[in-house]
A = this chain, B = another copy of it.
C-alpha cells in the first residue's frame, strides 16, 4: 500500500514544475502539448489532488456544513437529500450535524465546523440569534432553511406569544420596533403565512371555530401566522408548544386534547407533531376526522398511509435544501435577501365538517 501520488510526483514524471501541474489541473493557462502531457501522466499515475493541501493553502475547507435538528423527522431528511443532491452535483463534500433541537449542541457543532474551517453552512436553526452571532462574526456564509432563528430572549419577551408577534412583524417585513434585526442572513423558507392561512380557511369553511395549533421548536413563525389567520382574539390555550422530542410532542398533543375537549380541529406545525396528534387522538378514542379534524405541516410519504390519509400543508423540502445549497455555493456575488417557496394544501381525508 504505497501512498498516493502527489503533485510533485506528477511534476517529476512529466518533466515540468509543480506550478505547471497545478495550473493545468486548475484550468489555468498552459501550452497544449504541456497540458496534454501533464494530463496523461496524471491519469497514468491515478493522481488525485489532495483536498488537504488545497484547503490549507486557501485557508478554507471546500464543501459545506449542514445542521439539522433531527434526521428522523422526515421533512428534515427530505431537506438534507436536497442539499446532498446539489452538493453531489458540485462535487463538494457535506459535513452533517444533528442538533437534536438543542441550542447548546448546535453551538458545539458550529464550533466544530469552525475548527474544520468549514465556512459555508446551511442550517435549520434551533438556537436564537445569539447562538448564531459567533458563526456570522467568524465570517461563515450561512443560509437558514425552513426557519429563522428566534430573536434573542430578553427580559421583556421570552414567552412564545410575544415571540410570535415579533416573528409576525418579521413576516411582514416590518422592522420589529426598537430592536433592528442584527443578523443579515439569506434564507430559504416556505410561505408559512399563506400555508397556514389556507389551512385555517379550509377548516373554517368546514365549520370549525375552535382550532388549535400544535407547534414545536422553531415553529414561531407558523404560530404567528396561525394567530393572524384565526383573527385577533387568540385563545392562548389553543396554541401549545412541545420541545423537540417525540415524547414531548405526544405529551403536548395529549394534553391539548384533554384540556380542551371543545376543540374540533388541530393544525400541527410539523410532521412529528402530526404523528403525535394522530397517536394521542387514537389513545383518547377521538376519531379523525369525525371527532377532530387534523391538518399537518409537511407532506411526507407516510401521510398517505394513515387512515384516514392526512390532509397536509405541503412544502417542498427537497427543493428547499437544493436551493439553500445553491445559495450557499454561489455566494460570490451579493447574496439575495432570501427565497420564499410556495406551500400547497393537499386535501386528503383527515378533515371533516364540524359536528356540534
Listed in ascending order, the chain A residues whose CB lies under 8 Å from chain B are: 1, 3-4, 48-53, 55-56, 59, 61, 63, 66, 70-72, 74, 77-78, 80-81, 84-85, 88, 91, 93-98, 105, 108-109, 111-117, 137-139, 246, 275, 278-279, 300-302, 304-307
- How far is B93's CA from A70's CA once the two chains are assembled, in angstroms? 16
Interchain CB contact (< 8 A) of A51 among B1, B50, B63, B116: B116
Name the B residues within 8 Å of A56 (CB-CB): 52-53, 55-56
Smallest beta-carbon distance A185→chain B, Å: 15
- How far is B279's CA from A345's CA once the two chains are assembled, in angstroms? 21
Does B95 contact A96, Cβ atoms closer than 8 Å?
yes
Smallest beta-carbon distance A279→chain B, Å: 7
Q: Which residue of B lies closest to A272 (CB)?
A: B301
| 17 new A-B contacts at CB < 8 Å, known A49-B115, A72-B81 | A1-B138, A4-B138, A48-B115, A51-B117, A52-B55, A52-B116, A55-B56, A71-B77, A74-B74, A74-B77, A80-B98, A84-B96, A84-B97, A91-B112, A93-B95, A94-B97, A279-B305
Q: Which residue of B lies closest to A65 (CB)?
A: B93
Does B59 contact A70, Cβ atoms closer than 8 Å?
no
Smallest beta-carbon distance A6→chain B, Å: 10
Interchain CB contact (< 8 A) of A48 among B91, B114, B302: B114
Smallest beta-carbon distance A187→chain B, Å: 22
Q: Which residue of B lies closest to A55 (CB)?
A: B52
What are 21 A-to-B residue pairs whose CB atoms are below 8 Å?
A1-B137, A48-B111, A51-B116, A52-B59, A52-B116, A66-B96, A70-B81, A71-B77, A71-B81, A72-B81, A74-B77, A80-B96, A84-B97, A88-B98, A275-B302, A279-B304, A279-B305, A302-B305, A305-B305, A306-B307, A307-B307
